Every structure is written in structure tokens, then in C-alpha cells.
């Protein structure tokens, strides 16, 4: 029997202490906002239409994904490497908390921090056109964002494991930030991509998260549509969860056999 209260308390404790340690580095806000904010603001000025549901669908929703994805690649992706570099990984592995769960909890924090980009862009949009959010359906959007945080955290943990076992993790991280923006159609409809590339987009949960947020926050919200998206995203995330659990057990095994970084 899982102790839900205990799990939540553990997540809160890990996110709280991770946030405290982040605040010691003054540049975290620059790192977390750099790419998503400059991209979102550039697109805000490229956009030439009126501030309608169309605007919300592509710019506001896109800014959520840009922020959350970048935060997960830049922060969660390197979390385990940091633990190894600071030699604090011993405490994590020897603690009763599972290594994957530890990274997943941190990933929740980074996904939430990725939303700063969305808040800034929404604020600027309201300054430019106060009525720009009139077509926004707030309740479904909040529901969608909460779910997105959960799914992005699973992806973040997967990235972290992947970056740990790969040599060229740095290059991979810079490529991944830009590549997902394209193949997931973050700021434009997927049919603007060639059919062959579109196929890869459907294999990534971010594509479905973008579509879900777009549909439920601007079109007429229906639980059937919402659950359809949730089922697809859950299935895809399940695959990434399975893969990340395998990678983490590999990392723990290697670590215990002193093969990883000779620790």
C-alpha cells in the first residue's frame, strides 16, 4: 500500500530543498528564461494578427511548452551529473528514496519554474491588449498545466538518465531544446512540417501536450476529448517512464560496481 501522504511530503521536501540550493546561484533565472523568453518574445513580434483564441493557441500555449521543456533539458538533464560532481550522490543512493524518484521530484520543481516564461508572456500580452485573454478557458488550462507538469517531469527524469549514460550530453542538450520546438509544432501547426518529420513528432509526448493545451483551453472543452489526450500522453509517458527506470537501474548498478566515474 502506497502512503500517498508520505510520497507528497517527500516530493515537497525535495523540491523545497532543491529550490533553496538553486537560489544560491544568482543566475538560475537567466538560465531558465534565456532561450524560451527570447524565442517567445521574438515570436510575439513576428505575430501580426489580432489577439484572439488563435493568438492564445499558438503564442501563450507555446510559451508554456518552451519554458517547461527548456527548464527540464537545462536543469533536470544535468541534475545527476551535478550530484556526482559534488559527490552527494552517495547520500542519495544510500537513502531510502529511490534515485529515479529523487530526480523526478526535482524535475517537478523545474517544470514549475519553466512556467515563469508563460507568466511573463501572459503579462506582456495583457499589457499590449487587455482583452487578449477573453477567449481563454481558465479551468481547463489550469488542469492541463497541472497534468503537463507531471508528464514533463517524467520526461525530465528520462533526459537526466540519458545525459548520464551518454558521453556527448552537452551537445545533445542544445540540440534537443531546438529540435523539440520544431518537431512538436510548439508555435505552429504540425502540418507545416514534412510528413516524414511529423511522424517523429507524434512519438514525443510534448506534441500531444501542446495539442491538448491548445484544444482544451480555446475550443469547446469536452471531457471526452480531454481524456483522449490524457490516454495518449499517459501511454507515451509510460514508455519513457519504463525506459528511464531501466536507465536509472543501470546507473545504480554501475555505480555500485564502481564502474561509473570510478566513484
Rounded distance between C-alpha atoms, residue 25 and residue 27, angstroms: 6
Beta carbon nearer to another protein, 6 or 49:
49
User: Who contacts 146 (Cβ-Cβ below 8 Å, separation ≥6)?
Assistant: none
CB 54 within 8 A of CB 129: no
Chain centroid offset of residue 71 CA: 7
Q: Which three cell numbers stand for residue 213?
A: 493545451
Minimum separation from the CB atom of position 139 to another protein (A)? 28
Beta carbon nearer to another protein, 147 or 162:
162
Interface residue list for another protein (CB under 8 A)? 25-27, 30-31, 34-35, 37-39, 41-43, 45-49, 58, 168, 170-171, 174-175, 178-179, 181-182, 187-189, 192-193
Minimum separation from the CB atom of position 257 to another protein (A)? 28
Beta carbon nearer to another protein, 169 or 226:
169
Rounded distance between C-alpha atoms, residue 38 and residue 44, angstroms: 10
Minimum separation from the CB atom of position 209 to another protein (A)? 18
Beta carbon nearer to another protein, 174 or 222:
174
Rounded distance between C-alpha atoms, residue 119 and residue 94, angstroms: 38
Beta carbon nearer to another protein, 25 or 90:
25
Rounded distance between C-alpha atoms, residue 51 and residue 247, angstroms: 44
Minimum separation from the CB atom of position 177 to another protein (A)? 9
Cell match 536507465: residue?
247
Minimum separation from the CB atom of position 145 to another protein (A)? 23
Rounded distance between C-alpha atoms, residue 52 and residue 59, angstroms: 11
Q: Residue 55: name the closest of 66, 69, 44 by CA.
A: 44
CB 92 within 8 A of CB 164: no
Minimum separation from the CB atom of position 43 to another protein (A)? 6
Beta carbon nearer to another protein, 29 or 232:
29
Amino acid at each position: 500500500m502506497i502512503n500517498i501522504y508520505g510520497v507528497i511530503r517527500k516530493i515537497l521536501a525535495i523540491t523545497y530543498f532543491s529550490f533553496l540550493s538553486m537560489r544560491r546561484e544568482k543566475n538560475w533565472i537567466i538560465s531558465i528564461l534565456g532561450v524560451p523568453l527570447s524565442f517567445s518574445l521574438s515570436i510575439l513580434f513576428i505575430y501580426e494578427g489580432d489577439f484572439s483564441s488563435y493568438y492564445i493557441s499558438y503564442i501563450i500555449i507555446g510559451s508554456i511548452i518552451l519554458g517547461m521543456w527548456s527548464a527540464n533539458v537545462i536543469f533536470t538533464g544535468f541534475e545527476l551529473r551535478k550530484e556526482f560532481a559534488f559527490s552527494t550522490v552517495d547520500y542519495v543512493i544510500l537513502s531510502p528514496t529511490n534515485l529515479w524518484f529523487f530526480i523526478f521530484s526535482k524535475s517537478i520543481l523545474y517544470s514549475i519554474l519553466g512556467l515563469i516564461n508563460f507568466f511573463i508572456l501572459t503579462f506582456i500580452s495583457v499589457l499590449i491588449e487587455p482583452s487578449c485573454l477573453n477567449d481563454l478557458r481558465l479551468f481547463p488550462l489550469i488542469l492541463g498545466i497541472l497534468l503537463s507538469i507531471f508528464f514533463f517531469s517524467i520526461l525530465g527524469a528520462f533526459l537526466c538518465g540519458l545525459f548520464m549514460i551518454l558521453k556527448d550530453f552537452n551537445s545533445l542538450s542544445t540540440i534537443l531544446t531546438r529540435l523539440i520546438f520544431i518537431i512538436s509544432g510548439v508555435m505552429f501547426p504540425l502540418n507545416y512540417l514534412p510528413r516524414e518529420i511529423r511522424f517523429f513528432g507524434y512519438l514525443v509526448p510534448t506534441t500531444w501536450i501542446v495539442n491538448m493545451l491548445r484544444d482544451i483551453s480555446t475550443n469547446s472543452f469536452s471531457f471526452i476529448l480531454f481524456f483522449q489526450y490524457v490516454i495518449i500522453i499517459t501511454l507515451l509517458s509510460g514508455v519513457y517512464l519504463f525506459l528511464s527506470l531501466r536507465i536509472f537501474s543501470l546507473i545504480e548498478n554501475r555505480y555500485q560496481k564502481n564502474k561509473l566515474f570510478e566513484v
